[in-house]
Amino acid sequence: MKPVKLYHCTTPKKAKLYSQTGCIVSPVRGFNSKEAAMAWCIKTGRTVIFELTGWEQEDVHKLPDHHNAFGTAYWVDKNVYQRKCVFSADTDA
């Protein structure tokens, strides 16, 4: 079953851009669990995690790589407008 929400890892600079534009531009990648996103952040040095929702099931696809022991990676073939910051090292959210 395809996920209805994804956890997207990013940098503070890109998070600010998302706020300015109102969306994350396609293709949008993310993990199906917050734990998998946190592991990816540690590996890549990214410090912000967004919870994403609001796409049709036919727009989400499993990535062939980027998976880890905590979850599976997917990409959405549409711009994503519905997002909520669930972690930021800068604000300790």
Place of tokens 């600010």: 16
Q: Are 11 and 24 in contact (CB under 8 A)?
A: no
- The residue extents of the domains of the chain are 6-88
What is the model's pTM? 0.94
Q: Can you tell me the distance from the alpha carbon of 13 to that of 17, in angstroms, rounded to the nearest whole number?
A: 7
Q: Name the residue with tokens 């949008």.
A: 28
What digits encode the pLDDT tens for the residues 12-65? 999 999 999 999 999 999 999 999 999 999 999 999 999 999 999 999 999 998
